Structure 1
Amino acid sequence: MAPLCGSGRRWKRAVKLTLCLFFLIPMSSVGIRNPNTIFDKKQKLEVQKQLKRLNKPALKTMKSPNRDIIDCVDIKNQPAFDHPLLKNHTIQMRPSFYPEGLLFKESNNVSSNSKPKITQPWHLNGRCPEGTIPIRRTKEEDLLRASSVANYGRKKYDIIPNDDIDYSTHEFLVCSACRARRYVLWNECRQWNPQVQEQNEFSLAQFWISGVDNNGVYYHLFQDYSTRLFTFWTNNGYQSGCYNLECPGFVQTDNQIALGTSFTAYSDYGGAQSSLNYFVFKDNVHGHWWLQLADTYLVGYWPSSLFSVLSNSATRVSWGGEVINKNIGGQHTTTQMGSGHLAEEGPTRASHFQNLKVIDDELVLRGPRDNHEIVTHPNCYNLLKGDDFIYYGGPGRSLNCP
């Protein structure tokens, strides 16, 4: 297997920012422990302490149709500021620098007809007021599904191929661009809701930004089959760091987008398509890495003080899909990747990323170069790429994928 970047050296565990988007999170195969057992009684105090740390006091609370509970928390009281490096951090509400070509429109200057609509199920019951951010509440059963309270929200699966992965169950489609600097644009990602056969499998689409070659992660956090938006970051090879706001680090500024929750629109095979623009870019004044959705949602940023390698730039960006296949009965499962259709089916049928852009060392906006591909099981899931787009996906078990 060829390396994504470099000259065949082993994958390193090192400093990295990982941004993962549009994951399908299946129900966990690990059942909730019986709260009446002696073991759980001993853990009760620890669980309650952790819940108090994770769930900040809410100024407003809304229930979502998909059973999520969304708390509107004072922006100055968000989990990010529990991080020792952010104790005296001043919130930056917008970047001091915008890369040339990146659009952002102030929401109060955009008409209701022209503003891109991003809707999540909890919006049916209200919105968070100015000065607050929406946070998906962590429940007791969420903590009990983790291997331990301390491990809640941390890694379980690697998301980049490496020497330690069992490729009989872990399958990837990866396209990476080396020497990508400053910021990345991932435009018009189609939103699909793939089917997962087993509760302990998953299917995801993602992109991530790396300081050097290393491994990525995944962890079962939710108990439904909805496609959810979430992020992950780490700065020490996954010894710490986690998803969304489950540990301190990411500073959220937007009061309309809740990380870890689903969307209300998906694409239909051969029919109406639902897509969304994503931007991740570096503010070269303060050094923070910003996440922006569409042209009007500055979701927040990872402060520069969290990272060492990424404090200057990224060396690689990657796009791709990933599944876990449990090989039930010696057969590949029917867990889909993307739309569940192979790449050659093309627009409105296959999943894709398009209008991929990076900034190079000369600060020139361009399509990704020096691309490297990894396709672990091409008979089950495949990938086709152009200068600035990738089609990918597949159905899992089929005549060609027994």
Structure 2
Amino acid sequence: MVFSSSISFLVLYIFIAVSFGFPVNSLETKNHQSVNQTFRSAQQLHKLKKMIATRLQQINKPAIKTIQSPDGDIIDCVLNHKQPAFDHPLLKGQKPMDPPESLRRQHQIENTSDHFQIWSLSGESCPDGSIPIRRITEEDMLRAYSINSFGRKFDDPYVHEYVVVSEKNDKFHGGEGTFNVWQPYIENEREFSLAQMWLVAGTSGKDLNSIEIGWQVYPHLYGDYRTRFFIYWTADDYKKTGCYNLVCSGFVQTNKNYAIGGAINQISTYNGVQYSMNLKVLKHNYTGHWWLVAGPGAGTLIGYWPSNLFTHLKSAADEVNFGGEIVNIKTTGSHTSTAMGSGNFPDEGFRKAAYIRNLQVIDGDNNLKPFKNPKYGLTNFFCYSILQGNTNPKWGYHIYFGGHGRGYNCR
């Protein structure tokens, strides 16, 4: 994303105000003298720059190789044992564990499909013993609400809307689904649109544990409007723990071919070619860790969330959810026109609406099972909706979902 110098200066002021406790709404007052003094404060600017540089140094680990992605991302190849995960107090001094043999027999450990993500179009790859990490920049930090909140959800002040299908009232060791990939329209850079799976345990608003994986378009986080593969986790209802991708310590990546947070290369088109990715999280019974499988085809082993990151998810998930979500800021005073899925309603069907197919849960014996008692939920039927697809042996239990946001009935 490119800012003009005047907009950059405004963003910088707001960022300073939030970081140092100045009232942002002073921009709307007549006290321009105070504002101008703040702008001119070289000492405060220097302090902010230093804070950002320190935080970037914490997030961005030393690279043994750097790859320039065609989309403008910088991909750092970081030694496995130097990745952000091992800054976590519970993981310090550890090294990534190899995928258990039982998982290696079921899943690929290398990416066998070409160019799933844009950065791989460069023709470069990370050396063995390292993982690709999308570099966080100063510009990324300046878009954040504050330095410490970058990559986290806990101070997101906006309204979230969703459509979801859930399997509940059991103990689940994971879930799996194949996600149709789109690039939905985003009205405001602070809004996002995503499709994901949630594994949830605990109580919402109190001590919720959640593992979330999917694709999203989120310009506020990434600085562009590309569709990206993402992960998220929390162990305390988004209060202090967890983050997107590898911004904080926690998730341990083991695969050198996928950049979590990297842009997806192949995007579906309306009434045209459809692209999808498989997403799966499963708990390994011996170690207790939650392993991530993602990518085209059957997917590839990416890495794991150590079980000791969590409280309730140490044992099992209470529910498995699939669906879409958007943020509605109401920039114009009415409902946002940010789209969900393809931007079309589910009754338009294949090649037009977004879908998630072969939805399954994983039981305590690590068996995949179809949904038995699906429960549907949505926040605003006139803006975004969800529909169960017709029975199909190849697609299993599946849903269509999405919508275009603001319109005749969505206000």
SS at match of 1:33: helix
Is the alpha carbon distance of 1:296 and 1:189 closer, same or farther for their aligned partners in structure 2, counting shifts above 3 Å? closer
Deviations 1:308-355 (A, max 9, x none): 211111111111111223334443332211101100111111101110
Larger-Rg structure: 2
Matched, 1:32 2:29: no
1:145 to 138, 143, 148: 143
Which aligned runs of 4 or more in structure 1 are off by greater than 4 angstroms? 34-37, 215-219, 361-364
The offset of 1:118, in angstroms, is 4.8
**Partner residue of 1:181?**
172
Mapped partners of 2:337, 2:74: distance in 1: 31
Q: Does structure 2 conserve the Cα–Cα contact (< 8 Å) formed by 1:106 and 1:296?
A: no
Mapping of residues 326-365 of structure 1, within 5 Å: 326-361=329-364, 364-365=367-368
**Partner residue of 1:210?**
200
**Partner residue of 2:255?**
254
Deviations 1:8-33 (A, max 9, x none): xxxxxxxxxxxxxxxxx9x9x99631
Mapped partners of 1:157, 1:196: distance in 2: 20
Output the amino acid matched with 1:211. A
Deviations 1:261-300 (A, max 9, x none): 1111100111111111111101111111011124452111
Is the alpha carbon distance of 1:96 and 1:310 closer, same or farther for their aligned partners in structure 2, counting shifts above 3 Å? farther
Mapped partners of 1:396, 1:148: distance in 2: 29
Output the amino acid matched with 1:122. W
Is the alpha carbon distance of 1:361 and 1:249 closer, same or farther for their aligned partners in structure 2, counting shifts above 3 Å? closer
Tell which deviates more after alignment, 120-129 or 364-373.
364-373
**Partner residue of 1:18?**
none
Mapped partners of 1:182, 1:71: distance in 2: 33
Is the alpha carbon distance of 1:173 and 1:212 closer, same or farther for their aligned partners in structure 2, counting shifts above 3 Å? same
Is the alpha carbon distance of 1:180 and 1:46 closer, same or farther for their aligned partners in structure 2, counting shifts above 3 Å? same
Note the residue ranges of structure 2 that are not aligned, 5 or more in a row.
17-38, 390-395
**Partner residue of 1:379?**
382
The offset of 1:364, in angstroms, is 4.2
Percent identity, please. 41
Q: Does structure 1 conserve the Cα–Cα contact (< 8 Å) formed by 2:282 and 2:366?
A: no
Matched, 1:191 2:189: no
| Structure with a larger share of its residues in helix | 2
TM-score by length of 2: 0.80
SS at match of 1:66: coil
Q: Does structure 1 conserve the Cα–Cα contact (< 8 Å) formed by 2:109 and 2:301?
A: no
Aligned-CA RMSD value = 2.8
Output the amino acid matched with 2:93. N
Report the number of matched residues: 360
**Partner residue of 2:30?**
none
Note the residue ranges of structure 1 that are not aligned, 5 or more in a row.
1-24, 159-164
The offset of 1:211, in angstroms, is 1.5
Mapped partners of 2:56, 2:329: distance in 1: 32
Mapped partners of 2:109, 2:59: distance in 1: 31
Output the amino acid matched with 1:182. H
Is the alpha carbon distance of 1:98 and 1:255 closer, same or farther for their aligned partners in structure 2, counting shifts above 3 Å? closer
